[in-house]
Structure 1
Amino acid sequence: MTKDNSALPADVTAAATDPATDPGPRSLAELEARLARDLDVLALPPADWVPARDGVLDVAIVGAGMAGLTAAFALRKVGISNIRLFDRAPAGREGPWATYARMETLRSPKTLTGPALGFANLTFRAWFEAQFGPAAWEALHRIPRLQWLDYLNWYRRVTNPPVQNDTALTAISGDADGVMLDLVGPEGPRRVRARRVILANGRDGLGGPFVPSFWRAVDKRFWSHAHEPVGFAALKGKSVAVLGAGAGAVDNAAEALEHGAAKVYMLVRRAELPRINKGLGAGHPGMVLGFHAQSDERRWAYNQYIAETGVPAPHNSMLRCSRHPNFALLTHCPIEAAEPDGDRLVLRTGRGMVTVDHVILATGFAVDWAQRPELAEIARHTLLWRDRYVLAGREESDFALHPYLGADFEFLERSPGEAPWLNRIHAFNYAAVLSHGKVTGDIPGISAGAERLADSITAALFTEDYDHHWQRLVEFDTPELLGDEWTEAEDFQ
C-alpha cells in the first residue's frame, strides 16, 4: 500500500521519504537521548504491576550475556522489574567474546538487529554510526568480535539491568511456590528465592565442551579443548593438529598460525569440508516464530539434518588460515590412535602418521548434565527428548539428552508430581534449540525469543496472582465523574 503524503508540507514530505535528510546521531550521547525519547513516547517501561512478595524476586536470570540482557529488557518492557541477573564472569566479560571465541569477526550479517527488541536506536548499527558515521558503516563488512562485546556492554549500560557479577550458581531446587538458587560471590555463599528462573547461561548452559571418549585417555599435557584457555604463545615454532571441520577449528588454527606455529594441520573426519550453511536457508520470520509449534518429528528432523550436513566456517575465516603456507587441511582423516613419543604425540590417522607437539580439539559443546553439578536436581527430574521422542537408530544422537521443553521454554517433569517447581525454570540457552529453534542465543532470533519468553512469564505471574488482581479491580474506586459535571433532568419534556 502506498502512503499518501499529499496533505503534508513539502519539507515534511521530503524528510519522511529521504532518509539522507537525517544523518543520525553524531555521538553516543545523542543516540542515548533518542533512545530515551523513544521509551518516553511509548510510555516504557510501564509501572510495576506484580504484587511484591517479601524477600522474593519475580524473576532471577542466570547469565548476563546477550541472552540474559535481552530477556531482562523484555521483562521490563512488560512491567516486570523485580528481577536480578547473576553472572560468574567479571563485569564486561560476560559471554564468549573475550574468552574462547577467537574469530576476527562475527559470521552474522551486520544488518541483523539482534537484541534491539524493535528499537532502532538500540541496534548495533545505530551504536556504530553514532561513533564512526554512516560512511564507516557502509564500508564495514562484518562486525569485529570485540566490538560486538563493546556494543553489548553499552546495551547493558543503557538498559540498566540489576546485575551481580563474579557470582556463580552452585545449586538449584524448589517447591510448588518458587525456586531457590544457591549462589557464591564476593560476599560469600547465599540463597536467593525467585518465582521464576531463566537460565540464560549460553552455549554450554547445560553441559560443556565435548571431548570424545578416546581423548580422555590421552595425557592432558598434549591437548587442549578449543573452548578452554589455550596457551597459543607456547605453540610458537611447534607443530599443531586441530581436529574439527567448523568455525571453531578454523579460528583456532588461525590463532596458532598467527602466534608463530611452525606447522598447523586441520584434520577433518568428513570426506569433504562442509560448504553450505543450511541454516541460512531457513533464516526468515516463519522459522523464528513458528518452529516451536511444529511436531516433534519436524523439529527433530530439522536439527538433525543441520547437524549431519555440517555448518561451514565463514569465508573470511577460512582465508585467514589458507593465507599461511604452513597450513594444511586434510579431509577424510579420522584419528585412530594417539601415542606419546617423548614430548611429542604421534597420531595415527586414516591418511597415515603424523607427529605433533599439541592437539586442539575443536569438537564443540554437548548437553552433558554431568558437567553441570549445580543443575543436578533439574537433571534428576526433567523430561528429555529421549524420553519423549527418539527415532529408531538415533538413540545415540547428541540431541537425545536435550531437555524436552514446554511452550514457554519451561522444563517439564519426567514423572509428574515429583518436582512441581520445575516448570518455573525456563531454558533460554543453547539447549532450547531442539524444542524452540535458534531464538535463545543466536543474533538473528534473540529478540523474538526474549519477547516470547517475557510474554509467557507475564501470563504465568498474572494467573498465579489472579485473586489479587480481581480484588484490586473490585476495590478500585477512583471516580472519573465527580457528579458536578451535569444536572439530571426531572422528567421527560
Structure 2
Amino acid sequence: MTTDTPDVPATDPGPRSLEELEARLARDLDLLTLPPADWVPPRDGMLDVAIVGAGMAGLTAAFALRKVGISNIRLFDRAPAGREGPWATYARMETLRSPKTLTGPALGFANLTFRAWYEAQFGRTAWDALHRIPRLQWLDYLTWYRRVTNPPVLNDTALTSLSGDGDGVALRFAGPEGLQRVRARRVILANGRDGLGGAYIPPLWRGIDKRFWAHAHEPVDFARLAGRTVAVLGAGAGAVDNAAEALEAGAARVYMLVRRPKLPRINKGLGAGHPGMVLGFHSLSDERRWAYNQYIADTGVPAPHNSMLRCSRHPNFALLTDCAVEAAEAEGEDGRLSLRTSRGAVTVDYVILATGFAVDWAQRPELAEIARHALLWRDRYVLPGKEGSDFALHPYLGPDFEFLERTPGEAPWLSRIHAFNYAAVLSHGKVTGDIPGISAGAERLADSITAALFTEDYDHHWQRLLDFETPELLGDEWTEAEDFR
C-alpha cells in the first residue's frame, strides 16, 4: 500500500529576504502566544521598568521583559539612534571576537539570530564562507533587532541623576526636550562596559598635556597621525586594534608597548564557554567568584589572531614586551613626547592608552546616590593579596543583579536597581554584556523582576482571584440526580 505525500525538501533553505524572515519570526511569536497580555497593575505616572541603555544589553532585557508580560517599560540612551554601544565609536576591530555561531541576544528564537538575519540577505553559501562577523555588520543586526522587537526608546537622552524612596526610583534625564523626570518601580542599568566608571587613565598620564595622548575609549583623529610616530600602550585587543588603525592611516612608525614580560596567547575565558558557567557562576562562593575573575585578568586576554595579523603585516610595526613607561616629557612647546621606558627611551608624536576601563564612581556623578550607599566587594570579601584590585570597587550584587545596601535600612530603594552591565561580572559572571551569555542573563533578570513585581502586588492579585466570576459551566450542562437509584 502506498500513500501520496507532498515533496518535502531535505533541508529548509530558509527565508530569501528580511521580509520573509520577519514573517517567520512573527509566526513564531504567534504560535507561542507572545508577548502575553499585561498582568502588572498600572500605577499612575510610573513605569514598571526604566532601562538606562539601548544597546545590546538593554534591547535584550527589554524583549525578555515583554516575553513575560511586562510592557510598561522605556529605554533611554544618550547616543543617537543607530549608534548605541561601542560598535560605531571606540570599537575599532575589523570583526567580532565571538564565533559567528553564537546566538547572542536571540532569547531562544532561531529567526532572531544573527545567522538568520545574515542568510536572509546573503544566502547560506555566504554564511558558510563567513569567518567572523564584521563589527559594523553586527551594529546593523542590532538595529534590525531593535526594529523587529520594537521597544520604546528615547535616544539622545542622558541620565543626570537617580535617587529613590520606598515606592520606587526617581530618575532625571536631559534630552532634546530638556529635563525629564521619570519614576519607575524598577531600574536596569544596561549602560555598558563603562557603566559604573570610565576609561582607566594611569596616574602618570593625568599630568601630561592632552595634545600628546588619548585614551582608546575616546575619539582619535587617526588621519592626523599620518607620517608620525605613535606609541600604543596595552596588551589586549584594544591596543592591537588602535595600532592597526594608526598603521592603516599612514603612521610612519607604531610601537605597541606591553608591560607584561610576555604577550598573552591563550584566552582562558574560552574555557568557561559552557552552560554551567553561564547559569551557575552566581551561585559560587565569594572566594571562587573572585578567584575565577582574577585569574583571567592576571593571565590576560590576547587579541584575536586576525587582529594581530592586521598589525604585523606592516613592516613599520614594532611590539615590545616587558616595556613599562616610567616617565613622559614634552620636548618643547610644539615638540614631541619623550618616553622613558624599562627598555630604554623613545620619542614619539602621539600616545594611545589602551589601558581599559575601571569601576570609578567619580566618573559617574549621576550615580552618586548609588555610590554613597551601595555595598562593594571590598566590604564583603577581597582575595588575599589583591586589596588594590579594581574588583574591590565592583558592587556586591544580590542574586537578582540588584544593588545591596552597605548599611541596612539607609537606602532600601537600592534593591530596585539592577546592574546589567560590566560591573556585574564579579558577582554574576559574563552574562550582562558578552554575546555568549546575554540571553541567559536577560531571562534571569526578567524572571527576577517578574517575581518582585508580583510579590509587591500580591494584594491586587489576591483580590483579582476573589473577584473572578467568569463561569466555566453555565448550569445547563447536566441534570442533578434525585437519589442513588
TM-score (norm 2): 0.98
The answer to whether structure 1 residue 216 and structure 2 residue 170 are counterparts is no
The answer to whether structure 1 residue 119 and structure 2 residue 119 are counterparts is no
The equivalent position to 1:248 in structure 2, one of 238, 261, 266, is 238
Question: Counterpart of 1:42 in structure 2: which amino acid?
Answer: L
Contact 2:51 2:188 (C-alpha < 8 Å) held by counterparts: yes
The equivalent position to 1:82 in structure 2, one of 27, 48, 72, is 72
Structure 1 counterpart of 2:91: 101
Alignment of 1:184-333 (within 5 A): 184-333=174-323
Offset at 1:393?
2.2
Structure 1 Cα separation of the partners of residues 116 and 382 of structure 2: 45
SS in 2 for 1:182: strand
Question: Counterpart of 2:405 in structure 1: which amino acid?
Answer: E
Offset at 1:390?
1.1
Structure 2 Cα separation of the partners of residues 193 and 265 of structure 1: 50
Structure 1 Cα separation of the partners of residues 367 and 458 of structure 2: 31
Structure 2 counterpart of 1:375: 367
Structure 1 Cα separation of the partners of residues 305 and 374 of structure 2: 40
Structure 2 counterpart of 1:129: 119
Question: Counterpart of 1:432 in structure 2: which amino acid?
Answer: A
Question: Counterpart of 2:89 in structure 1: which amino acid?
Answer: T
Aligned length: 482
The equivalent position to 2:475 in structure 1, one of 463, 483, 488, is 483
Contact 2:228 2:349 (C-alpha < 8 Å) held by counterparts: yes
Structure 1 counterpart of 2:56: 66
Structure 1 counterpart of 2:159: 169
Structure 2, unaligned stretches of length 5 or more?
none
RMSD over equivalenced CA pairs, Å: 1.2
Structure 2 counterpart of 1:432: 424
The answer to whether structure 1 residue 469 and structure 2 residue 464 are counterparts is no
SS in 1 for 2:412: coil
Structure 2 Cα separation of the partners of residues 403 and 77 of structure 1: 28
The answer to whether structure 1 residue 423 and structure 2 residue 424 are counterparts is no
Offset at 1:176?
1.1
Structure 2 Cα separation of the partners of residues 11 and 77 of structure 1: 35
The answer to whether structure 1 residue 410 and structure 2 residue 366 are counterparts is no
Structure 1 Cα separation of the partners of residues 251 and 202 of structure 2: 25
SS in 2 for 1:240: strand
SS in 2 for 1:461: helix
Offset at 1:391?
2.5
Residue-by-residue CA offset, 1:325-361 (whole Å, 9 max, x unaligned): 0000000100011011122000011111100000000
Structure 2 Cα separation of the partners of residues 492 and 296 of structure 1: 67
Question: Counterpart of 2:238 in structure 1: which amino acid?
Answer: G
SS in 2 for 1:440: coil
Identity of aligned residues (%): 85
Offset at 1:10?
6.6
The answer to whether structure 1 residue 362 and structure 2 residue 354 are counterparts is yes
Structure 2 Cα separation of the partners of residues 143 and 446 of structure 1: 17
Contact 2:233 2:355 (C-alpha < 8 Å) held by counterparts: yes
Structure 1 Cα separation of the partners of residues 118 and 207 of structure 2: 47
The equivalent position to 1:32 in structure 2, one of 22, 25, 28, is 22
Offset at 1:9?
8.4
Question: Counterpart of 1:339 in structure 2: which amino acid?
Answer: E
1:351/1:157 CA distance change after superposition, 3 Å: same
Structure 2 Cα separation of the partners of residues 187 and 334 of structure 1: 48
1:153/1:490 CA distance change after superposition, 3 Å: same
